[in-house]
Amino acid sequence: TARPALVELDDVSKYYGTIRALEGVSLEVHAGEITCVLGDNGAGKSTLIKIIAGLHQHDAGTFRIDGDEVRLGNPREALDRGIATVYQDLAVVPLMPVWRNFFLGSEPRKGTGPFKRLDTAYMRETTRSALLRMGIDLRDVDQPIGTLSGGERQCVAIARAVHFGAKVLVLDEPTAALGVKQSGVVLKYVAAARDAGLGVVLITHNPHHAYLVGDRFVLLKRGAMSGGYLKNGITLDELTRQMAGGSE
Ligand code: ATP
């Protein structure tokens, strides 16, 4: 219990003008665990992600990374602190090969790093082996990433965060647009990221998906936490009931 959480929100609130997006939200993200954030449309899930990813700042409460209180000014700061965010629409360039997308944005900040020396063959091979290490067997990393299925693209994004050393992986409804089979595959790789030691934040409106992989659960209703902080041991029935319940 000595180690601080990788990410901790304590009593965090966020307003857009007079609109309450989040109020009094608390959660912890620990290495090797999956913290699920559940909620319907408008519950505040996107706002929560934006605070953790450095796109927005909270108005009240505290945000800690590795025990240090922070206010992230931009997404780069979040990345520098080890927080990688995979958005639903994935920031990929559809016509570029998988391997090129894999390395996109991994360039060091100052132009002095090793990136310039990376050649195509190296990036191809690294992408292939990073995917394989996660158990993702993509035959052709030269194909445009746009030709992959939505689930496959999510898997590549997850492998990418693991490969580039993220400590915290924030996933914005990775299974939202997927069918049962693809959802199962994506959840398998979410679990693989956890098993690789990352702390994962899984945003979802699907209690079953949360139940399958979650260690901690936070339920948002109209910006507020509903049902308190649900620890592991919760049943699927209970999660589903809490999601369906109208109480705030
Ligand atoms: P969804 O899944 O539909 O994206 P969500 O759970 O992510 O929903 P948020 O997008 O965080 O919810 O929105 C929470 C509340 O804040 C909503 O009432 C929304 O209308 C409001 N909101 C979000 N962004 C803004 C903004 N930029 N300006 C004003 N209100 C906003």
Q: What pLDDT is attached to residue 247? A: 46
Q: How far is the CA of 45 from the centre of ligand 1 (A)?
A: 8
248 has pLDDT over 50: no
Prediction ipTM score: 0.92
- In this predicted model, what pLDDT tens digit does every residue of 52-77 receive, in sequence order? 999 999 999 999 999 999 999 999 99
Question: What CA–CA distances, in Å, run from 35 to 58, 98, 106?
Answer: 20, 29, 26
pLDDT range class, residue 108, cuts 50, 70, 90: low
2 has pLDDT over 90: no
Tokens of 113: 């790093």
Residue 95 DSSP symbol: T
Tokens of 98: 């998988």
The share of the chain scoring above pLDDT 70, in percent, equals: 90
Residue 207 CB contacts under 8 Å (≥ 6 apart), including other chains = 38, 236, 239, 240, 242, 243
Cβ atoms of 45 and 203 within 8 Å: the answer is: yes
221 lines ligand 1 (CB under 6 A): no
The pairing of strands 83-86 and 68-69 is unpaired
Alpha-carbon distance 10 to 63, whole Å? 6
Q: What pLDDT is attached to residue 55? A: 95
- Pick the more confident residue, 155 or 234: 155
- Pick the more confident residue, 90 or 168: 168
* Residue with CA closest to ligand 1 atom 25: 16
Q: How far is the CA of 217 from the centre of ligand 1 (A)?
A: 20
Please measure the distance between the N-terminal and C-terminal CA atoms of the chain and give it in whole angstroms. Answer: 31
114 has pLDDT over 60: no
pLDDT range class, residue 217, cuts 50, 70, 90: very high
Which ligand 1 atom lies nearest to the CA of residue 17? Answer: 29
43 lines ligand 1 (CB under 6 A): yes
Alpha-carbon distance 71 to 59, whole Å? 10
Residue 74 DSSP symbol: S
Q: What pLDDT is attached to residue 243? A: 78
Residue 42 DSSP symbol: T
